[in-house]
Amino acid sequence: MKIYTERVRKLINPFFYTQKWPEFSFLDQWPSTAEIDCEIGFWDGTFLLDQAKKNPQKNYLGIEIRHQSLSTTTQYAANYKNIALVHGHAATLFEKWVPASVFSNIYIFFPDPWGKGRHLKRRLINQPFFELCVKVLKPQGKIWIQTDDLDYAEAIHKLLGQVFPKSFVTYSQDPWEHYPTFWKKKKILEGKQIHSFQVELRSN
């Protein structure tokens, strides 16, 4: 496992900066033909670790902005050769350091909804971010999103209809119900509905 602890952080109080990362080279540790998936905001690493264990032929990049989450997952992932962890802001990483056509799947489960009006601009999911996802995904690559926040779900649905009008799916049932991550278990116990979306890139 490779860990990149140099922080690339943006738009998170009390910080507002983008720090240059001189050597972001997670691709160097894996064969150029290796299939790579990316999870943004892996929290306690439940999903990331389970996928890496079940699919040893694939490689997984986890991006997390919370230092405590990175520290916790690092302990559990120490013996995994197919995991790399990054402490940073996904949009900044995708824009400046991740090359084109790298990932087969991008997973975004329960991103911070930033519910207050003045904080909406801090939401990860917006049109510029989707454009960055298109850049770093392979052809036919997929984006998987889950949220329990109805307002965020409605905003995501509207945005997907604008950016990917013919290639997104809204699920009435949770396609990842067998992966009870920290936030999913918490929200289900609270009686929240889980909203699930999937996008598959198409050539036309």
DSSP 8-state symbol, 120: G
Residues comprising the chain, all counted: 204
CA distance 170 to 190: 22
**Would you give the DSSP letter of residue 158?**
H
Split at pLDDT 50, 70, 90, the class of 15 is very low
For residue 16, pLDDT beyond 60: no
pLDDT given at position 25: 66
A 10 A CB-CB count for 23 gives 8
Where in the sequence is the domain holding 174, given as residue range(s)? 2-200
Domain containing residue 185: CATH number: 3.40.50.150
Q: What's the whole-model pTM score?
A: 0.87
Model pLDDT for residues 20-32, shown as the tens digit of each residue = 444 456 777 787 7
Residue numbers annotated as active site: 112
Q: Give the chain's domain count.
A: 1
Confidence at residue 180, expressed as pLDDT on a 0 to 100 scale: 73
Contact between 176 and 140 (Cβ < 8 Å): no
Peptide bond into 99 cis (omega under 30): no
Contact 179, 52 (CB under 8 A): no
Pair 161, 144: CB distance under 8 Å: no
Average pLDDT of the segment spanning 144-160? 95
For residue 146, which phi and psi values (nearest 5 degrees)?
-135, 140
Q: State the pLDDT at residue 204.
A: 54
Mean pLDDT value across the chain = 84
Residue 184: per-residue pLDDT: 87
CB contact at 8 A, 83 and 114: no
Longest Cα separation, the chain: 45
| Residues 138, 98 contacting (CB under 8 angstroms) | no
Top pLDDT among 7 and 103 is at: 103
The pLDDT, as a whole number, for residue 122 is 86
**Is a pLDDT exceeding 50 seen at residue 7?**
no
In this prediction, what percent of the chain has a pLDDT beyond 70?
85
Give the mean model confidence (pLDDT) for residues 137-150: 95
Bigger pLDDT: 136 or 167? Answer: 136
